[in-house]
């Protein structure tokens, strides 16, 4: 019995042969016909229906290329068709032509050009998950929850996430005007001067009084585990450490795992990944060996509605293992796995596909739900922005002390750690 995946391969090759023939290629791979599939035991109706749909797509591409009032290349039409198809599955799946693929590599390395936003696609534009700390967008007042609906006067309605991000990028020093729709419905046009975005992911390590430490993780880039280890070493023997994950849009899963295993017992589950390819069986990430591990230092983690993805993985693991008390607001709820899969037919292109969801050690699905704090301390937008500006000023050497900021979420975390209200600690 031939597997269904074989049918997909057969039909894909047939479609490629038909399409390449239209495009003027003189040689194509040979492929089995539908009769071979039927003879092999595959239902004729299913095979014929798949072939019919593929040929319909081929015809639509051919008609668009030949008859649309504006001239378009086959490559552009195929790229658009692939991207729209993937985007229809969920906001985070996309087709990656060479330039966006290069941009993705730049971002995870911790350095890229643009205005400094982490965004996700929504129907009428892109919604801001969080601005990069101290970026042009942050300085211009762009906030988590804002929706960018136009760039330089061009609407983002129906535009792919890749194209929307590309439109906001450019040479450092050039200006871009973004039209921002606030959660209140107000629309404002914001001019922003582009700059090179350099992300220092672990910031603001500071001692609070004589007994507590504080560190802020801006996002999870490659260097975070080693940078966190240096900060952790500063506070050994203290009464507690506060890890600030507010406004952290996520990043590399491996980096979040690398932080978690420094404060959890070896072998502890950190996160599981479940998708169709695993047949329902979770792929678990556990705390491995690390040269320095501290499972006794009491921890508090600050979270809010802009803490997303990898930051939710870390917060969820520490909460489930009663290793930290979470203070603040419910996290964003964006915790799906995007796999970047290079295409064999064109290695310069790739598909970014949502392939699984993250689950905390207790089995809680993060995506669409978020992580609830142990101690809820809600603040309004004005207070959030004031705290953020003072944090940035402090980290730029502005002489502002954490104790002077008037940060109620941070103050509550300090009270809990100093008052001994920390949940039961993990043990080696």
How far apart, in whole angstroms, are the C-alpha atoms of residue 276 and residue 338?
Answer: 13
φ, ψ of residue 101 in degrees (nearest 5): -65, -40
Farthest-apart Cα atoms in the chain, separation: 79
Listing DSSP states for 303-317 in one string gives E-TT--THHHHHHHH
Q: Please name the residue that has the structure tokens 């090759």.
A: 13
Q: Which of 309, 311, 319, 407 is catalytic?
A: 309
Among 38, 53, 45, which residue's Cα sits nearest to residue 6? 38
Asked if residue 106 lies in contact with residue 176, where contact means CB atoms within 8 angstroms, the answer is no
First-to-final CA distance of the chain:
51
Asked if residue 280 lies in contact with residue 274, where contact means CB atoms within 8 angstroms, the answer is yes
Asked if residue 149 lies in contact with residue 187, where contact means CB atoms within 8 angstroms, the answer is yes
Q: Which of 83, 146, 244, 320 is catalytic?
A: 320
- Using DSSP, state whether 59 is helix, strand or coil: helix
How far apart, in whole angstroms, are the C-alpha atoms of residue 163 and residue 87?
Answer: 12
Catalytic annotation present for 309:
yes
Give the residue ranges of DSSP H helices in 203-362: 224-234, 253-260, 310-320
Locate 145 and state its tokens.
């929850």
Listing DSSP states for 19-56 in one string gives HHHHHT-S-------HHHHHHTT--HHHHHHHHHHHHH
Q: In what order do the strands lie in the sheet with 240-244?
A: 202-208, 212-217, 240-244, 299-303, 324-328, 375-376
Catalytic annotation present for 166:
no
How far apart, in whole angstroms, are the C-alpha atoms of residue 219 and residue 110?
Answer: 9
Catalytic annotation present for 76:
no
How far apart, in whole angstroms, are the C-alpha atoms of residue 122 and residue 33?
Answer: 41
Q: Which of 135, 201, 334, 336 is catalytic?
A: 334
The residues assigned a catalytic role are: 309, 320, 334
């Amino acid at each position: 019995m031939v597997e269904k995946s074989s049918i997909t391969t057969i039909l894909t090759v047939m479609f490629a042969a038909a399409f390449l023939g239209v495009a003027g290629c003189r040689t194509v791979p040979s492929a089995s016909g539908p009769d071979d599939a039927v003879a092999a035991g595959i239902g004729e109706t299913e095979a014929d229906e798949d072939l019919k749909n593929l040929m319909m797509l081929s015809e639509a591409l051919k008609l668009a290329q030949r008859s649309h009032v504006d001239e378009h290349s086959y490559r552009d039409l195929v790229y658009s068709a692939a991207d729209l198809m993937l985007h229809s599955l969920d906001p985070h799946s996309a087709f990656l032509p060479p330039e966006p693929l290069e941009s993705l590599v730049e971002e995870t390395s911790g350095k890229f050009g643009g205005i400094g936003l982490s965004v996700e696609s929504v129907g009428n534009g892109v919604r801001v998950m969080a601005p990069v700390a101290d970026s042009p967008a942050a300085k211009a007042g762009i906030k988590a929850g804002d929706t960018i609906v136009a760039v330089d006067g061009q609407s983002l309605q129906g535009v792919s996430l890749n194209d929307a991000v590309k439109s906001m990028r450019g040479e450092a020093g050039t200006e871009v005007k973004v039209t921002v729709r606030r959660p209140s419905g107000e629309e404002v046009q914001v001019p922003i001067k582009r700059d090179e975005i350099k992300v220092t992911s672990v910031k603001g390590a500071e001692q609070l009084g004589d007994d507590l430490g504080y560190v802020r993780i801006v996002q999870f880039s490659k260097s975070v585990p080693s940078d966190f280890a240096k900060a952790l070493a500063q506070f050994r023997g203290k009464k507690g450490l506060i890890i600030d994950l507010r406004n952290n849009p996520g990043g590399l899963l491996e980096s979040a795992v690398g932080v978690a295993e420094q404060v959890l017992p070896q072998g502890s589950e950190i996160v599981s990944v479940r998708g169709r390819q695993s047949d329902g069986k979770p792929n678990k990430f556990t705390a491995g060996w690390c040269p320095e591990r501290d499972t006794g230092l009491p921890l508090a983690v600050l979270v809010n509605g802009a803490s997303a993805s990898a930051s939710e993985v870390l917060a969820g693991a520490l909460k489930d293992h009663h290793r930290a008390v979470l203070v603040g607001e419910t996290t964003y709820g964006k915790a799906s796995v995007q796999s970047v899969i290079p295409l064999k037919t064109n290695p310069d292109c790739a598909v970014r596909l949502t392939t699984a969801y993250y689950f905390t050690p207790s089995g809680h699905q993060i995506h669409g739900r978020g992580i609830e704090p142990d101690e809820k301390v809600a603040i309004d937008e004005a207070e959030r922005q004031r705290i953020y500006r003072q944090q940035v000023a402090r980290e730029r050497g502005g002489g502002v002390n954490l104790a002077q900021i008037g940060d109620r979420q941070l103050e509550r975390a300090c009270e809990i750690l100093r008052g001994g209200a920390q949940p039961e600690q993990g043990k080696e």
